[in-house]
Structures are given as C-alpha cells and as structure tokens.
Amino acid sequence: MVQKVNVLSIVRLNPAERAKIEAIDPRVQLTDAGGWFDGEYRETWPAFASARYLSPRATGSGSREERDRLLADAEVVLGSWPFPLDLRKRAKRLKWFHQRPAGASNLLLGDLWGSDVIATTSRGAGNVLAMAEYALAGIFYFAKGLRHPADERAAGKFDFRAYRPLLIEGKTACVVGAGGIGREVGRLFAAVGMRVVGTRRHPEADALLPPGFVELGGPEDLERYLPDSDFVIICCHWTPETTRLFDAKRFAAMKAGSVVVNVARGEIVDEDALADALERDHLRGAVLDVYVGEFERQPPKRLWSNPKVLITPHISNASDQDRHGAIDVFCENLRAYLDERPMKNVIDWQRGY
C-alpha cells in the first residue's frame, strides 16, 4: 500500500501552484491553509511585522484546535514569513519544512532552528533580477547626486556644486556574497561597464568565473578588495561569521567616497560604525533595504535622518513581475523527498544557511 504524504501549505497558493504540487506524485495529499494562521501571527509577532506583512483585514481561519490538527498531521510544511513560532512543538510528525524566502536566518525566531527537522530554503530562486536592479538604482542615486533635487525644491533654488556626479563606466564594484543575488548583481553591473570583483565562502567551487566578474575570491580577500572598490554591495547570508562583518575597521578600509549597498540583512552591518563613517564624510552614501530589527521597529534615527542614507522597507525583491521560483524549488525537493534522495538548499544549523 502506497503511503500518503501529508503536505500542508501555510502560504497562499494560486490554482497553478496547487496543481503543480499535486502533480508530483499520487502520494501527495496537499492541504492549502494559506492565510489560516494570520490571526495567530498578529498575536505572537511584533505589531510592526504584522502591519508590514499581513493584509489589514486578515484575521485567519478556523479555530485554534483546527489549526493544531492541521499541523499535527503534517509531514511536510510549506511556509513563508511570518510563520508559527511554535511550529516544531505543534507539528509532532513534521519531517521537512520548506520556506518560500531565501534567507535561512528568517527561521532564527522560532523553535524550528536547530531541531531535528530538515529545513530548506528557496536560495537562488528569488526575484534576484529585481534585487540587482535595485542595487544598480541605488548606486546611480548617489553617483549622480539624485538626492539633491528634493532639498533644492524645498529651498527654492539650485545648488549646482552639490552634485559631484561620477561616471559609472570603469568603476569597481565589490559583490560580497556571489551567490544567486550576487551573481545577478555582478552580471548587471558589468553590463553598464563596471569592473566587478566578489567574494564567496567557497570560490573554488566555481570552475569558471560567474558572468561579469573579473575576479572571485574568498572571505579573506575582502580586505584586499575594499580599498579599490567604488561600490560595495552586500548580498551574503547572515550567519555567526557575517554578523557585523562590516564594522569600524572595514568601513575605514573602504575607499574614500565609496558607496555601500545592503540588500542582505541588517545584522551584517555595525550600524553605529556606518553612521560614523558617513558623518565624517568617509563614505559618499549608503543604500539600505534592510536594517537591524526591521520586523519590529522603524530604522535607527541616526541613519534614517541622514541625507546620505537611502533606506527602504525591504522591497528590493518586489516588481511588477513575479519571477520567484520558490514553488519550483519546493516541487523539485518534494520529488527528491519522496524518492529518498538528497534535497537542495538544506540548512546547516551550525553553518547558519
């Protein structure tokens, strides 16, 4: 007798996505509970996160007992952000959790982290082109002095000398974390004439340089790249090793007048050290789509009030076209799970991604 596999989706699926998952194998018993847990999220997550990630009218569905029963029966859960913080406690039969986002650090808040459950991410399958375009827009914002027109409008006069525009062609960009996002950043930056170097944890895994890169080094090469880089784009995972990777020492090592862009996680940057570097005019500007504690509070005033800082609410992956490949990754892994083969993007709890 073929054993069924109870798959619970706590993310909203469209009909095509449901059909794609159900077509994997007759053993798959899919339950679509997208939106059912929204009320719980409002009660257990910070109000700031609820306002950011939930529809204003979302209250959830079913009773607590019904939701507990769904989790208790699930062998596989497809989730996103937010998610039930007590997921492991309530899902006793859970063997595998797949999260739609790419960042493993999203799971640090719940009881799943470090558990016996296999967890996978959609690393490399997000809207990486949108994020690369955001990074490119950010460097143009500062390279061409586009922060000044709003001030001039308020003052009622132009300040011609404030712009100090840069020519992008020929400038050097350092991509910190040349994974799925970083590779697309490198390709796009090279397309506008920039010299692109980058780092990744295991550069030796690449037989060939990624498109657009002229050099790819390991973490130890960052110190060598920073003094010559006009733009530094942070795309790496947040792990114990990368926490405050950019501290006072590394900001001091950066080229005078350079720009830093962070589309990864706020915790990778020492925000006080960044503010210091900006206030003493060592850096031309900073583009931050992320900041420490972004799910529970507004950005730190010291950065948000500085005109040399462009802060956005984690929207770099958004666009008018949804090119997110999370469901494709999930389906590929579901096939492997059923066949008892290794899955891709499995989180190493010790490594942090």
Residues with active-site annotation: 265, 296, 314
The set of residues, in sequence order, having a beta carbon less than 8 Å from that of 128 and lying 6+ positions away, is 180, 181, 183, 184, 317
Residue 238 contacts residue 267 (beta carbons within 8 Å): yes
End-to-end CA distance of the chain: 37
Residue 264 contacts residue 291 (beta carbons within 8 Å): no
Q: Classify residue 15 as exposed, middle or buried by CB count within 10 Å of its CB (0-12, 13-18, 19+).
A: exposed
The set of residues, in sequence order, having a beta carbon less than 8 Å from that of 34 and lying 6+ positions away, is 9, 10, 11, 12, 13
Question: 148: which 2 tokens?
Answer: 């000044």
Q: Which DSSP state fits 153?
A: H
For the residues of 172-210, what is the DSSP string, one character each?
Answer: EEEEESTTHHHHHHHHHHHHTT-EEEEE-S-GGG-SSPP
Question: 216: which 2 tokens?
Answer: 């790819």
Residue 219 contacts residue 245 (beta carbons within 8 Å): no
Among 126, 180, 185, 131, smallest CA distance to 325 is for 126
Residue 181 contacts residue 132 (beta carbons within 8 Å): yes
Residue 258, SS3 per DSSP: strand
Rounded Cα distance, 303 and 83, in Å: 30
